[in-house]
């Protein structure tokens, strides 16, 4: 090993790592820079190693931050194709200085591999400008490049230099594979794939392509929040091409721009199938496209994160031979995920499970799944009638939208079938009044329904940066938080792993009401909904805020997140007794 390399590794504290020694020897043998090989080794602290390297080579250190530079003017001095290929980030430009007497100015560039001298000399020579090199973290440089140039800027430049007739590229196979070789010829096809791939990598649930008056905006919905994706400056010129490519992938009519259209794309990323629902909306600035990304990973009860006191009750509910189990909540609250998890738990060879949905969101092996098609007369009601003639044990109806569908589902439950469905109400008790308001007789509701669930999604704390929070007892008392339980309240901090938000992923919080004889009586006599609440509390009902506080005490989410989705609840609705040990005559799905 060369003395300089050995010195750097020793000072960085990674010379003794076996993986580092092997990586350096291989890099020296192949006559390539060893820096990236070392950074890829397990156990190497990136910042320590690169700071040591900068100090040894007497190069300035660029710290970078979450707010990496994004001055548009810097893009003019270093083409995107060069910057992104070699991962070189322009961080500052000086028009005049003592160093720039013979050139147009001085460009400061951050690199994580200052030993890649050949590339750096070529870049500096081609720019006809004085270059001052800085050393920075690889992760910071990559973040800065995305913010400065936008996703796929190198591809974008190639497209503008020579636009081929990309639209003639047929979709071909039914499944579009997003794993592309690095040397693939630049095209709109690749650019669109980059947009989708980046969304999947960042755990986005939705991608929105939205034409504006002077630009094309692309946004990801991550953990329930919309985040704008940095894109190349002149992407507006490719608006029609990008939208047309997405319509081709979804097998939509690219000539129809006046009416909304719906379609699907089957993707594959790293061997994992991804189902994408596509919806177009005509706007005054052009067609807007929304993509809903649906991973086909198995849905299980374990992924719901049920508390230990609740899961056994759920297990008992799923063993019932008949009845209706309803899940309520607004669109996007995770109702479908919970339903599929329930069905997955029950999916055994001795049960015949049939679903009717609009549309089929997840394909579940071992089940018969039907998609409604109103244009040919296949509605929830007509489909459900046919299902009941097909000897099912368990039926799932995507949504109880009308009285006819609801009455058929109730009749199915009363004749020996277990039925799952959803309703759009704000809370579990609201499911009772909603059914009655639809025109269902109260005695049918009390006889057929076994449980009402309500659920919401809250953001999950990042496990890498969450920290203990100090909260005043008076404030906790005012929101109904239990003061007589053990647990640690945490708060969001923010780090690179969670992109500074302090959260990673989402989890469900629930409330549920089981049908008891006392509640049946109140429904039959058409009691006021307030009486339903009182009786549910007597039966052991735990409201959604109380369930959320369990998750707060477990260190999984924050008080702010729970309050944001339970704003309509009163503090008095949360039982004063220990919410972690109270006897549960309820089920939280």
Predicted local confidence at residue 299, as pLDDT = 78
User: What tokens were used for 281?
Assistant: 């909306």
Every domain of the chain with CATH number 3.30.300.160 lies at 3-149
Would you state the pLDDT for residue 262? 92
CA-to-CA dists, residue 550 to 83, 436, 459, 511, angstroms: 48, 32, 14, 12
CATH topology of domain 3-149: GMP Synthetase; Chain A, domain 3 (3.30.300)
The secondary structure of 354-376 as a DSSP string is EEEESS--S--TTSEEEE-BGGG
Structurally, what CATH architecture does the domain formed by 167-295 represent? 2-Layer Sandwich (3.30)
Can you give the pLDDT at residue 174? Answer: 52
Outline which parts of the chain fall under CATH 3.30.450.90.
167-295
Superfamily of domain 301-459+507-548: P-loop containing nucleotide triphosphate hydrolases (3.40.50.300)
CA distance 235 to 149: 11
Q: How many helices (H) and strands (E) does the chain have?
A: 21, 20
What is the distance between the terminal CA atoms of the chain, rounded to a whole angstrom?
60
Strand-pair category, 353-357 with 394-397 = parallel
Q: Which class for 391: exposed (0-12), middle (13-18), buried (19 or more C-beta within 10 A)?
A: exposed
**Which uninterrupted H or E stretch holds 279?**
strand 272-283
pLDDT at position 548 = 92
Distance between CA atoms of residues 275 and 266, nearest Å: 5
pLDDT for 15 equals 60
Q: In the prediction, which pLDDT does 36 show?
A: 78
Question: In the Cβ-directed half-sphere of 468, how many Cα atoms lie within 13 Å?
Answer: 3
| Dist CA 409 CA 390 (whole Å) | 14
Question: For the whole model, what pTM was predicted?
Answer: 0.74
Q: What is the pLDDT of residue 8?
A: 74
pLDDT of res. 428? 92
* Residues 425 and 454 sit within 8 Å (Cβ to Cβ): yes
How many Å apart are CA 209 and CA 291, to the nearest integer? 8
Find where tokens 């702010």 sit.
Answer: 560
pLDDT for the residue numbered 6:
67
- From first to last of its 589 residues, the chain has per-residue pLDDT tens of 456 666 777 776 766 666 776 777 777 766 667 787 777 777 778 888 888 888 888 899 998 765 555 566 777 788 877 887 788 888 888 876 555 555 678 888 999 888 888 888 888 878 778 888 999 988 888 888 878 877 766 565 555 555 434 333 444 445 565 655 443 334 788 888 889 988 998 889 999 999 998 889 999 999 989 999 888 777 888 888 899 999 999 999 999 999 999 999 988 877 778 889 999 999 999 999 999 998 777 778 888 888 776 787 788 899 999 999 999 998 888 898 999 999 999 999 999 999 999 888 888 899 999 999 988 999 999 999 999 999 999 999 999 989 999 999 999 999 999 999 999 998 999 999 999 999 999 999 999 999 999 999 999 999 999 999 888 889 998 998 988 777 789 999 988 788 888 999 999 999 889 999 999 999 999 999 999 999 998 988 888 999 999 999 999 999 999 999 987 766 556 554 434 333 333 333 3
Measured distance CA(244)–CA(534) in Å, rounded: 56
Alpha helices in 32-114, H assignment, sequence order: 35-39, 46-56, 80-86
Where is 6: in which H helix or E strand? helix 3-11
**Residue 103 CB neighbour total at 10 angstroms:** 15
Residue with tokens 């008891």: 516
Residue partners of 386: CB distance under 8 A and separation at least 6: none
The SS3 call for residue 84 is helix
How is residue 11 written in tokens? Answer: 């000072």
Question: According to the model, what pLDDT value does residue 102 have?
Answer: 58
The whole-number pLDDT of residue 98 equals 58
Q: Are 417 and 501 in contact (CB under 8 A)?
A: no
What pLDDT, on the 0 to 100 scale, is given for residue 32?
67
What residue spans in the chain does CATH classification 3.40.50.300 cover?
Answer: 301-459+507-548
* Predicted pLDDT at 166: 39
Residue with tokens 């951050």: 110
- For 507-544, letters b (16+ CB in 10 Å) and e give bbbbbbbbbbeebbebbeeebeeeebbebbeebbbbbb
Show the DSSP H helices in 364-452 as ranges: 380-388, 403-414, 430-438, 442-448
Most distant CA pair in the chain: distance in Å? 93
Q: At CA 509, angle to CA 479 and CA 578, rounded to 5?
A: 50
């Amino acid at each position: 090993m060369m003395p300089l390399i050995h010195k750097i590794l020793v000072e960085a504290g990674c010379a003794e790592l076996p993986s580092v020694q092997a990586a350096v020897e291989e890099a020296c043998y192949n006559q390539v820079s060893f820096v990236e090989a070392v950074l890829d080794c397990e156990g190497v602290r990136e910042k320590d190693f690169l700071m040591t390297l900068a100090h040894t080579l007497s190069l300035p250190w660029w710290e970078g931050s979450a707010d990496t530079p994004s001055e548009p003017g810097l893009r003019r001095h270093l083409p995107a194709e060069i910057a992104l290929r070699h991962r070189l980030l322009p961080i500052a430009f000086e028009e005049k200085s003592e160093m720039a007497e013979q050139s147009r100015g001085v460009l400061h560039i951050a690199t994580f591999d200052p030993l890649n001298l050949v590339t750096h000399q070529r870049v500096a020579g081609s720019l006809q400008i004085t270059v001052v090199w800085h050393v920075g973290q690889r992760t910071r440089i990559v973040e800065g490049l995305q913010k400065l140039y936008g996703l796929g800027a190198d591809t974008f430049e190639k497209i503008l230099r020579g636009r081929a007739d990309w639209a003639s590229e047929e979709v071909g196979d039914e499944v579009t594979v997003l794993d592309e070789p690095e040397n693939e010829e630049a095209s709109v096809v690749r650019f669109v794939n980059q947009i989708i791939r980046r969304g999947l990598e960042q755990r986005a649930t939705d991608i929105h392509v939205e034409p504006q008056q002077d630009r094309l905006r692309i946004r990801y919905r991550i953990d329930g929040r919309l985040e704008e994706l940095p894109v190349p400056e002149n992407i507006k010129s490719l608006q029609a091409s990008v939208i047309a490519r997405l319509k081709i992938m979804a097998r939509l009519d690219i000539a129809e721009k006046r009416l909304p259209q719906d379609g699907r794309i089957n993707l594959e990323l790293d061997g994992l199938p991804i189902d994408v629902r596509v919806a177009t909306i005509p706007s005054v600035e052009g067609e807007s496209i929304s993509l809903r990304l649906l991973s086909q990973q198995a849905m299980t009860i374990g992924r719901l994160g049920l508390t230990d006191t609740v899961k056994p009750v759920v297990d008992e509910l799923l063993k019932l031979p008949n009845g209706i189990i309803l899940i309520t909540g607004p669109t996007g609250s995770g109702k479908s995920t919970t339903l599929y998890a329930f069905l997955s738990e029950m999916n055994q060879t001795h049960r015949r499970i049939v679903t009717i949905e609009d549309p089929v969101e997840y394909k579940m092996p071992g089940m018969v799944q039907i998609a409604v098609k109103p244009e040919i007369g296949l509605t929830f009601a007509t489909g459900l009638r046919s299902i009941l003639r097909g000897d099912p044990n368990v039926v799932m109806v995507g949504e109880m939208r009308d009285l006819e569908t609801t009455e058929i589902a109730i009749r199915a439950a009363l004749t020996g079938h277990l039925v799952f469905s959803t309703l759009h109400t704000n809370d579990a008790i609201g499911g009772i009044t909603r059914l009655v308001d639809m025109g269902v007789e109260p005695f049918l509701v009390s006889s057929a329904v076994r449980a009402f669930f309500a659920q919401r999604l809250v953001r999950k704390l990042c496990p890498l940066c969450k920290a203990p929070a100090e909260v005043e007892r008076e404030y906790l008392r005012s929101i109904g938080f239990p003061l007589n339980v053990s647990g640690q309240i945490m708060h969001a901090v923010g780090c690179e792993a969670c992109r500074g938000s302090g959260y990673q992923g989402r989890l469900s919080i629930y409330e549920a009401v089981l049908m008891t004889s006392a509640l049946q009586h109140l429904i039959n006599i058409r009691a006021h909904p307030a009486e339903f609440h009182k009786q549910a509390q007597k039966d052991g009902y735990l409201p959604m805020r109380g369930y959320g506080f369990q998750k707060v005490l477990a260190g999984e989410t924050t008080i702010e997140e729970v309050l944001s989705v339970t704003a309509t609840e009163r503090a008095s609705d949360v039982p004063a007794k220990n919410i972690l040990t109270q006897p549960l005559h309820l089920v939280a799905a």
